[in-house]
Structure 1
Amino acid sequence: MVTPSFVAVEDQDAVTELLRAQLDGLPARSPIYADLFAEHGVTPSTFASLDDLPKLPFTTKQMLRDSQAAAPPLGRHAAVDMTEVIRVHASTGTTGKPSWVGVTRRDAAAWTDMVTRAFRTMGASREDVVLHAAGLTLFVGGLPIRDAFERIGATFLPIGTGASEKAVLALETLGVTALHSTPSYARYLAEYLRARGRDPKEFGLRKIFVGGEPGGGEPAFRQLVEQEWGAPVTEGLGNADMAPVLFGEVPGSPGMRFTGGRHVVVELIDPESGEPVAAEPGATGELVYTSVDRECCPLVRFRTGDRVVVNGLADDGAPLIRCYGRTDDMLIVLGVNVFPSAIRDVIQALHPRTTGAMQILLAEDGPRVEPPLRVEAEWGEQPGDRDELVRELEGLIRSRLSVRAAVTLVPPGSIERSEAKTRLTRRTS
């Protein structure tokens, strides 16, 4: 079967039946799939079991953008009337233009089920007081996260972004046990505290939940955050167009396991050929999602662009994954694929000689970049000989990532920090 390792054995028959029922009515409800199925010569009856998923066409993010441009507000893939939609979220891609995501009452309940399961997997409990330092507006990592923590019974502190002073006040007065944020903000808040003469460890955090961007699984980045706060990091992974959190990391495990239950089917594919990849230890590929019981925006074989590696298997055989980058972020240097997050991990590995902050400087938009890859990195509190540090960084990047880099060191604090997602590349012209 295509997906036995992501769909629990006991759920496979139920998932197959639910998906078959969804596909049966999909062309009539969603014009984009009436056209797409006809274009590829398939019908809902093409799908009889999970083995048949690869027979169905992919859906891409650009298709969704085009769909909404052609039929605003929610697009030709929205399968219900706007009167059935109780909430709208948005995702932003490389264009920066929002892509609207409608949610019905049943969709919202399914999201809460999935996100609750993910955070319980990551170690959240009703005893937690959670400082939520992520967006609370259109971002899917906001209100749906609140719903999940309320389902768990934890105390939820909706600080949001751009409010670090309030975050510190909450840490000082409300007995905060857990932080939920992007990986960038977990690091940013620690630096914010140290700049004001405070040690992050003094606040006694016991858990740090991160998501929303790659980074939480980078070994050097994670080590730095855990050292700063004296608390373990666990990460989750989701997608604005499918569900806020679909994977969650069991504390102490080598990766995240699928926590979407019967609501989503996950495939791992080769990003170049589109062929299925067995989710076995050591395998790499792109995640593809199919919604099983979605009302408003049911997607079939949606290519997420998330590149993952299978780090191992849980005791029940479930794959444990790490996300190491996104297709949208990938750079190509003389035919070698390079993810900015991998460059960051090399630089952070030399902390405290570096601060870990870095940016890749691009003369023009990628993905193709002429060597050497220009990298700007901050020296740290104990840089030693800076010329030697540059040579070591360039050597590590070349040996580990097979690309030639030209590293420039800049003083600590020179590279802009972000309270939201951190951009690891910068156009210079």
Structure 2
Amino acid sequence: MSKPGFVADEDRDAVTAMLRAQLEGLPARSPFYADLFAAHGVDAGALESLDDLRKLPFTGKQELRESQAAAPPLGRHAGVDLTEVIRVHASTGTTGTPSWVGVTRRDSEAWTEMVARAFRTMGATREDVVLHGAGLTLFVGGLPIRDAIERIGSTMVPIGTGASEKAVLALETLGITALHATPSYVRYLAEYIRERKGRDPREFGIRKIFVGGEPGGGEPAFRAHVEREWGGKVTEGLGNADMAPVLFGEAPGTDGMRFTGGRHVVVELIDPDTGEPVDPEPGATGELVYTSVDRECCPLVRFRTRDRIVVTGLAHDGAPLIRCVGRTDDMLIVLGVNVFPTAVRDLVQTLHPRTSGVVQIIRPDRGGHRVDPPLRVEAEWGAEPGDHDTLRRDIEDLIRTRLTVPAAVTLVPPGTIARSEMKSQLTRVE
């Protein structure tokens, strides 16, 4: 039987008691959940063990959007009034209209605790000087990361996005030891330094590269490329705007991220097609589902993240280690085979420097996941001279061999595909 939440055995009783108290009081303060539980005929307060969570209904992103449309600004699912909220963030809108996420003072303290634990796991110390190259506005990877870095005692340099010139100045003058950003910006900044400044990013002496906010940091070829470019070691974190900025963190030298949310969040692994629980054993794949244990403003129950993960192994204490392989929303189905755009990018990256490693998948404008073969891929050729026809065939052969789907590759010059300082757009609709 699966153990929801990746919860340590010594924490299960305490987490169960806290969650039971949360669920007992939830219908009285959240009309959304009062209606949802009644519609499914469940008594959420009758939870006896964490395994009983599977008896409760899921919460989907579209339901939260509808909740906010019905009762703006925070929605019928919000557990407190706006007057109790000290800060508002927003989801990035990856799957639709962005939604508001309220944070109370207690919620903020819990976030800071969770994110600080994740960054300590990823290798941050008070001796580090961290260049923060992620958004500092509504993005949950901004201000909450700052709070956590300062909690650890590291020196925070809040460059944000759209300020690569200032980032270079900071690298030149402040003794930066660590870089935090999305994988897209980590690569973008290295390209900026090489192409605009004519310099080698390794000369700045970055030792630690903390990435998150999108899949990519765990892709072997992408990671190897970034580590060659900067000369530092990559570790990654994983979170969710609606639940917490970072809930999983990767310890240096391990083969995946471990749950670092403590007693604040229960995590389940489910089959994305059937909704049935999946044991988080090495080799297992599934979708992450989150339930808040003590959240005040957004007390979500069984929230489907659409993050598809694989369990890569176990830590020394038996905790599952995971990698995020993509979002179920981004997944394409070609001849019955599930294809994640991130997997295509990682394969193309293995051919660097014959390719730049930057790709986009062209998909038809008809909705759904199904794509008629061949898979259309646009890829940039790289700095290494060579025969483009041979390169195109090599990419197509690699995709057919590794992903078992036919592909039609179009090669374009370096710099053709748009770069992003936030999240890369790996698909384009035509």
Common topology (TM > 0.5): yes
Residue 4 of structure 1: how far off its partner (Å) = 5.9
Distance 1:289 1:360, change over 3 A: same
Distance 1:204 1:320, change over 3 A: same
Structure 1 stretch 92-101 or stretch 209-218: which is displaced more? 92-101
Q: Does the CA-based 8 Å contact 1:130-1:178 persist in structure 2?
A: yes
SS at match of 1:208: strand
Residue 91 (str. 1) matches residue 91 (str. 2):
yes
Give the Cα separation in 1 of the matches to 2:269 and 2:28.
Answer: 28
Residue 205 (str. 1) matches residue 206 (str. 2):
yes
**Aligned counterpart, 2:326:** 325
Q: 2:375 aligns with which of 351, 373, 376?
A: 373
**Aligned counterpart, 1:255:** 256
Q: Which residue identity is paired with 1:6?
A: F
Query: How do residues 48-87 of structure 1 correspond to structure 2 at under 5 angstroms?
Result: 48-87=48-87
Q: Would you say how many aligned residue pairs link Structure 1 and Structure 2?
A: 428
Structure 1 stretch 256-265 or stretch 399-408: which is displaced more? 399-408
Q: Does the CA-based 8 Å contact 2:95-2:329 persist in structure 1?
A: no
Give the Cα separation in 2 of the matches to 1:321 and 1:306.
Answer: 11
Q: Which residue identity is paired with 1:321?
A: I
Query: How do residues 143-154 of structure 1 correspond to structure 2 at under 5 angstroms?
Result: 143-154=143-154
Query: How do residues 299-378 of structure 1 correspond to structure 2 at under 5 angstroms?
Result: 299-364=300-365, 365-378=367-380
Q: Does the CA-based 8 Å contact 2:4-2:51 persist in structure 1?
A: no
Give the Cα separation in 1 of the matches to 2:339 and 2:385.
Answer: 26
Query: How do residues 1-400 of structure 1 correspond to structure 2 at under 5 angstroms?
Result: 2-3=2-3, 6-94=6-94, 96-195=96-195, 196-364=197-365, 365-400=367-402
Name structure 1 gaps, 5 residues minimum: none
SS at match of 2:91: strand
Deviation digits for residues 234-270 of structure 1 (CA, Å, limit 9, x no counterpart) = 0000000000000000001000000000000000000
Q: Which residue identity is paired with 1:33?
A: Y
Deviation digits for residues 16-39 of structure 1 (CA, Å, limit 9, x no counterpart) = 000000000011111111111111
Q: Does the CA-based 8 Å contact 2:2-2:280 persist in structure 1?
A: no
Give the Cα separation in 1 of the matches to 2:187 and 2:171.
Answer: 15
Q: Which residue identity is paired with 1:159?
A: I
Overall identity of the aligned pairs, in %: 79
Distance 1:4 1:286, change over 3 A: closer
Q: Which residue identity is paired with 1:78?
A: A
SS at match of 1:303: strand
Residue 370 of structure 1: how far off its partner (Å) = 1.2
**Aligned counterpart, 1:409:** 411
Structure 1 stretch 42-51 or stretch 313-322: which is displaced more? 42-51
Q: Which residue identity is paired with 1:370?
A: D
SS at match of 1:169: helix
**Aligned counterpart, 1:425:** 427
Give the Cα separation in 1 of the matches to 2:186 and 2:406.
Answer: 31
Give the Cα separation in 1 of the matches to 2:4 and 2:302.
Answer: 16
4+ residue runs of structure 1 moved beyond 2 angstroms? Answer: 1-5, 92-97
Deviation digits for residues 126-182 of structure 1 (CA, Å, limit 9, x no counterpart) = 000000000000000000000000000000011000100000000000100000000
Q: Does the CA-based 8 Å contact 1:85-1:103 persist in structure 2?
A: yes
Q: TM-score, normalised by structure 1?
A: 0.98
Give the Cα separation in 1 of the matches to 2:385 and 2:105.
Answer: 54
Residue 383 of structure 1: how far off its partner (Å) = 4.6
Q: Which residue identity is paired with 2:399?
A: I
Give the Cα separation in 2 of the matches to 1:248 and 1:360.
Answer: 29
Q: Which residue identity is paired with 2:352?
A: H
Q: Does the CA-based 8 Å contact 2:5-2:265 persist in structure 1?
A: no
Give the Cα separation in 2 of the matches to 1:166 and 1:336.
Answer: 44
Name structure 2 gaps, 5 residues minimum: none
Q: Does the CA-based 8 Å contact 2:183-2:217 persist in structure 1?
A: yes
SS at match of 2:99: strand
Structure 1 stretch 116-125 or stretch 380-389: which is displaced more? 380-389
Q: Which residue identity is paired with 2:401?
A: S
Q: Does the CA-based 8 Å contact 2:5-2:268 persist in structure 1?
A: no
Residue 5 of structure 1: how far off its partner (Å) = 7.0
